[in-house]
Amino acid sequence: MYYADKRVLHDTIVTIDERVHDLIQRYGTVEEIRNLILQNKSQVLTVERKIASFMKIDIDQAIQGPVGKS
């Protein structure tokens, strides 16, 4: 759930960078909050690497699903 939350913006799957940008735009009103969001990005990337290490296909390919499906 934690990782999934970091890859979804409203109802769209996005990159971690896109999600972090959105969080900074919406909640990063002060430097301290922006720094916490960026620290969280580092944690999310660590989780992503751990998940990817168990996968046989690229994590972004898995998230996108089969080619031609929408």
pLDDT at 53: 94
Q: Count each helix (H run) and each strand (E run) in the chain, helices first.
A: 4, 2
pLDDT at 60: 84
How do the domains of the chain map onto residue ranges?
2-64
pLDDT at 66: 62
What average pLDDT values come out for the chain (70 residues) when binned by 10 residues?
Answer: 92 93 97 97 96 91 66
pLDDT at 61: 85
As to burial, measured by CB atoms within 10 angstroms (0-12 exposed, 13-18 middle, 19+ buried), residue 26 is exposed
